[in-house]
């Protein structure tokens, strides 16, 4: 009998890819959703939860062997007004709190809770590759990630194993930053953000999904891991690698100046221009091997898959 995995945030980019992999491997999957949804797959069902009312389908919780917690309002989906920033924090912290409260109140067989976090936890430095032991930044994303992780970690007091992945920029043409960089390429423009010298710690969507699966099957994993490929690149390298894969040499590189990004994005421009180098050594030491350790191979595969 295969285990059952309960996923929050299962309708997003990562959640959909992870659901496909788990079903392929024979797992049962229950996706918690705020909307009523149905499934024709015999191993997949949807269950309801509501953060506002602090409710969750307890039968789904009682069936679960593992919980994968991906829920959270998209950081780059809207301008950072004070209301939006509050939503970014609350959607993460309150959803973790709801899971904790429900696990504490209802009998269950959950063994592991595997949660997303982000490399926004770290501050902006270029000469230092951040490890999991580094302190959080004191800016908006740093404090958000710290509060998010703390809210998940309390689940350990219930005797569950907690694994947290601080995720870099996820490379996929179905969503996220790369999809945005790909749009102007259709017109022949490779858009570099600011100077383009800022480091980007990234991971191919397939590798990220494999990491979550690895956390389910590998009982030695515990605590926090950086979910980033071994070779961070500059923003310019990322964009030009994508441009070469998509267009060969027929593109024009355009730098979007920092002041224009600040006008367009407001406070969120700080994140686009921030340089963050993050180390993948800890997860590699567990034996995990990346399918796409190098950005050129990652974007080549994505562009190839999109043309297929």
Whether 268 is covered by a domain: the verdict is no
With 90 as the cut, is the pLDDT of residue 2 above it?
A: no
- Is residue 261, in this structure, part of any structural domain at all? no
Provide the domain limits for residue 88: 4-169+204-228+278-291
| Sequence-ordered list of residues with C-beta below 8 angstroms from that of 249, at least 6 positions apart, any chain | none
| DSSP of 266-282 | GGGHHHHH--EEE--HH
219 located within any domain: yes
Q: What is the pLDDT of residues 214-223, one digit of tens each?
A: 999 999 999 9
pLDDT at 35: 81
pLDDT in tens, 230-256: 999 999 999 999 999 999 989 999 998
**Least confidently predicted of 12-26, 126-140, 230-244:** 126-140
Domain membership of residue 71 (yes or no) is yes
CATH code at position 39: 3.40.50.720
For residue 285, give the H/E element and its range. helix 281-285
pLDDT band, residue 278 (cuts 50/70/90):
very high
Separation between Cα atoms, residue 215 and residue 222, nearest integer Å: 8
- Please indicate, yes or no, if residue 118 is contained in any of the structural domains: yes
User: Is 158 a member of any domain?
Assistant: yes
| Domain presence at residue 12 | yes
DSSP string over 62-130: HH-SEEEE-----TTSS---HHHHHHHHHHHHHHHHHHHHHHHHS-----EEEEEEEGGGS--EEEEEE
Place of tokens 């490379």: 171
**Tokens 């515990």 belong to residue:** 222
Count of the separate structural domains present in the chain:
1
In the DSSP assignment, the letter for residue 16 is H
CA distance linking residue 233 with residue 212, whole number of Å? 23
Instruction: Please answer whether residues 232 and 38 qualify as being in contact, where contact means their C-beta atoms are separated by less than 8 angstroms.
Output: no
Q: In the structure encoding, which two tokens stand for residue 168, read together?
A: 């870099």
Residue at 161 is within a domain: yes
Q: How confident is the model at residue 308 (pLDDT cuts 50, 70, 90)?
A: low
């Amino acid at each position: 009998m295969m285990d059952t995995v309960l996923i929050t945030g299962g309708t997003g980019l990562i959640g959909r890819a992870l659901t496909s992999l788990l079903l392929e491997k024979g797992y049962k999957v229950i996706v918690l959703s705020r909307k009523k949804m149905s499934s024709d797959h015999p191993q997949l069902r949807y269950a309801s939860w509501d953060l506002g009312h602090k409710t969750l389908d307890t039968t789904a919780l009682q069936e679960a062997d593992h919980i994968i917690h991906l829920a959270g309002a998209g950081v780059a989906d809207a301008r950072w007004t004070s209301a939006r920033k509050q939503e970014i924090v609350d959607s993460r912290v309150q959803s973790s709190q709801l899971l904790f409260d429900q696990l504490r109140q209802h009998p269950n067989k959950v063994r592991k809770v595997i949660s997303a976090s982000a490399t926004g936890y770290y501050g902006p430095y270029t000469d230092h590759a951040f490890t999991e032991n580094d302190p959080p930044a004191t800016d908006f994303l740093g404090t958000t990630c710290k509060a998010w992780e703390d809210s998940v970690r309390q689940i350990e007091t219930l005797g569950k194993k907690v694994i947290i992945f601080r995720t870099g920029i996820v490379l996929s043409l179905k969503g996220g930053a790369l999809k945005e960089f790909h749009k102007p390429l259709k017109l022949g423009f490779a858009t570099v953000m600011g100077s383009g010298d800022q480091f980007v710690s990234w991971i191919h969507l397939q590798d990220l999904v494999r990491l979550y699966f690895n956390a389910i099957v590998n009982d030695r994993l515990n605590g926090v891991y950086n979910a980033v490929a071994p070779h961070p690149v500059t923003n310019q390298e990322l964009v030009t690698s994508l441009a070469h894969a998509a267009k060969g040499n027929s593109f024009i590189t355009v730098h979007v100046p920092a002041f224009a990004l600040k006008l367009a994005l407001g406070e969120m421009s700080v994140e686009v221009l921030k340089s963050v180098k993050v180390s993948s050594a800890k997860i590699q030491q567990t034996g995990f091997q990346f399918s796409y350790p190098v950005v050129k191979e990652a974007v080549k595969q994505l562009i190839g898959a999109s043309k297929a």
